[in-house]
Amino acid sequence: MPELLQEGLLGLDYQELSVIAQKHGQPEYRARQLFDALYPQRLAGLDSISTLPKEFRAALKEEGFEIRHPRIEKSFQSVDGTVRYLIAMADGETVETVWMPEGDGGETGDGTEAGDSDWHRATICVSSQVGCAVNCQFCLTAFMGVKRNLSAGEIVGQVIAVLNDRHVDLERQRVNIVFMGMGEPFLNYPQFMKAVRLLVDGVGFPESRMTVSTSGIVPRIHDFGAEPVRPKLAISLNASNDEVRSRIMPINKKWNLEMLMQAARDFPLRNRERITFEYVLLDTVNDSAAHAREVIELLRGIRCKVNLIALNPGPGIQFGTPTEQRVQIFKDLLVKAGIPAFVRRPRGRDIYAACGQLKRTVA
């Protein structure tokens, strides 16, 4: 029970809530009422759970249980409709979470094209750690290092905070989740996967509307493939050979491209599913036609698609953004080789909400 108290109610699964209800002499259905209040209903306080007896609510409070929703400290609105949220946890640590509305003719969170009629679609980009330990040289989050992992409740809480702020009805609005914010989800694997299960079983997100991005934590890719419920997999590739990748992504020194590509080939894809490879293009570093041809060889035989991202600039980043012409040539070579490739249009770049720009910026 002490470990459950540390977590608070948000982040507990049905089995853990059943233990609490049983300890207080409550029937099993009280656990279901608690679960429904926390997740589908997204209620923020015990007093709001009118289905529970007052005595049970009072006993929970007396024991120290509460619903600890992360708090939105600040939000920043982009000209393209993107909103960057600075979200505070109970201990005062903050992370960033991004709301990206779609339907302006751009690209959706899963790499497909959106049309004007898709105004009701949106994507939430969620953080899994305070900071990040992977140290990718083109990412502002790397400058923070890593402070700690987020709990399952803090991961789910980000989603709930944004849904409640945007007044989202999940039965009427299609919302995707991408675990591509601060941190490496596979270095916080147990809490990340617990959060996934709570979002699916509780909040109401189909796993098909979730994608997780990893920098290439090979053992966890194997574990992830064996999960009965899991999001889609995206791998941050960002280089076509070990020399370049080790320079811009030090994690490659531990799990190199041969190991990473083998894990991708072994990954058990579902019907019609593809692995997404994300590739941040850095001017004259990894964006030449020769690099594109190396990528084609790397991905040969893997059912996949590639999202190309021209570097989003930031203070302290020592790389440049390639020209549109270089990006287009790179994309055309992949497509000609039969690899679906998309150029990801930056969202929220003016408010430091775009890919690689999250650094708890407060202005």
Beta-bridged to residue 310, according to DSSP, are 281
Q: Which of 96, 102, 154, 184 is catalytic?
A: 96
Query: Cα dist. 53→9, 22, 50, 57 in Å?
Result: 17, 14, 7, 6
**Cα Rg of the chain (Å, integer):** 21
Per the annotation, the verdict on 355 as an active-site residue is yes
Query: Cα dist. 275→110, 141, 265, 301, 348 in Å?
Result: 11, 24, 10, 12, 25
CA angle 86, 213, 148 (to 5 degrees): 50
Going by C-beta distance under 8 Å and a sequence separation of 6 or more, which residues neighbour residue 342?
Answer: 107, 111, 112, 305, 306, 307, 308, 331
Report how far residue 274's alpha carbon sits from residue 89's, in angstroms, rounded to the nearest whole number.
Answer: 35
Beta-bridged to residue 211, according to DSSP, are 178, 232
Going by C-beta distance under 8 Å and a sequence separation of 6 or more, which residues neighbour residue 247?
Answer: 137
Whether 77 and 351 have beta carbons less than 8 Å apart is answered as yes
Would you list the DSSP string of 321-343? PPPHHHHHHHHHHHHHTT--EEE
Per the annotation, the verdict on 62 as an active-site residue is no
Q: Kindly state the tokens that stand for 145.
A: 């290092």
SS3 78: coil
Do β-strands 275-281 and 94-101 pair in parallel, antiparallel, or remain unpaired?
unpaired
Whether 161 and 69 have beta carbons less than 8 Å apart is answered as yes
Give the catalytic positions in this structure.
Answer: 96, 355
